[in-house]
Amino acid sequence: MNAVTSPARPLVDTFGRHISYLRISVTDRCDFRCVYCMAEDMTFLPKKDVLSFEEIEAIAGAFIARGVTKIRLTGGEPLVRRDIMELVTTLGGRIGHGLDELTLTTNGSQLRRHAQGLADAGVRRLNVSLDTLDAERFRAITRRGRIADVLDGIDAAQAAGLAIKINMVAMRGVNDDEIEPMMAWAHGRGMGLTLIEGMPLGEVGIDRVDSYLPLRELHDLLARRYTLSKLDKRTGGPARYVHVAETNGVLGFITPMSHNFCESCNRVRLTAAGQLYLCLGQDDQVNLRDALRDGGPAALDAALDHAMLIKPKGHDFVIDRSRPEPALGRHMSVTGG
């Protein structure tokens, strides 16, 4: 961060963790219904409850003024929101003025038509959620998606010069037989691959106990077949990375269940309705929408102070037969991952 933009009052929680990373869910809507993320029949927010682009810009500006240097746009699926490129362009204009990086997580379905615009706005890398390369399995997991659209979007993004990391939720009995082929495919195209453990958020369409695959187990399996070297790579998120010698690529592991990453948490999540969640696995939140609408910038700034006081030390996810119900009622799409 440039010295001229160093915050006078950085966001530091009661455990001494500096908050430098804001994830913004621009919509809770999605054109997929992935079985580990959403129910088949979802009730979405009424439009009046959703933050306007102007409100998102104001909240993002308040965070940047307090030391946030990275913003990731999420959903639902962020690219299904109408006129989303207006927001991307505006936030992209903050890069170099307090903001170091603007990124986006997408399912890739709308990426073909937005890839060049994202690059033009200053986005340099994307996370694309993709759990299988098999067309029939893809449709079963997403309940309605077409893998051809996603692969076409990835082609367009790479042509636009965007770096891509594939995010794959590893599920026992669902796609665990595809992890090595996915790694070979992603690394062969110059993309990273990050594996993610399933998390117990919301009632969804799979048995989470049966499908849960601890990534420690998977790491040990891969380590017997590949040469894995630990990397110090940091992208502001929770992944731990290794270099795979045989594919000359980067493999990441996000392990909220088997090994949480709470001690180094530097992020908070803003929902499309303006609730700031301080932890993906807890319900602690501050309503920034009401603070901004009722009290303006001063109330918003005070709400950020309050948020730092109540940010919890960590989450306590559990998946087993004695506790099969989700840890939290809200779906992943509400808080944007």
| Rounded Cα–Cα distance for residues 240 and 260 (Å) | 11
25 known ligand binder: no
Residue 106 β-bridge partners: 128
212 is in an annotated binding site: no
Q: Is 333 annotated as a binding residue?
A: no
What amino acid is encoded at 287 in this protein? N
Phi (first) and psi of residue 193, to 5 degrees? -130, 130
Residues 18, 19, 20, 21: what is their CA dihedral angle, to the nearest 10 degrees?
A: 150
Residues in the chain: 337
- Establish whether 230 is an annotated binding residue: no
Q: Is 165 known to sit in a ligand binding site?
A: yes
Binding residue per annotation — 129? yes
User: Is 279 annotated as belonging to a binding site?
Assistant: yes
Q: Which of 293, 256, 288 is nearest to 270 (CA)?
A: 288
Helices first, then strands: H and E counts in the chain: 10, 12
How is 202-236 classified by DSSP, letter by letter? S--SS-HHHHB--HHHHHHHHHHHS-EEE-----S
User: Which are the contacts of 232, defined by CB distance < 8 A and separation ≥ 6?
Assistant: none
Cα dihedral across residues 314, 275, 38, 177: positive or negative: negative
- The answer to whether the annotation marks 76 as part of a ligand binding site is yes
Is 70 labeled as ligand-binding? no
**Residue 314 identity (one-letter amino acid):** G
- Is 199 one of the annotated binding-site residues? yes
Check the annotation: does 124 bind a ligand. no
Check if the beta carbon of residue 299 is closer than 8 Å to that of residue 290.
no
Grouping H, G, I as helix, E, B as strand and the rest as coil, residue 92 is helix
72 among the known binding-site residues?
A: yes
Binding-site residue set for S-adenosyl-L-methionine: 36, 76, 129, 199
Binding-site residue set: 23, 30, 34, 36-37, 72, 76, 105, 129, 165, 199, 262, 265, 267-269, 279
Binding-site residue set for GTP: 23, 72, 105, 165, 267-269
Binding-site residue set for [4Fe-4S] cluster: 30, 34, 37, 262, 265, 279
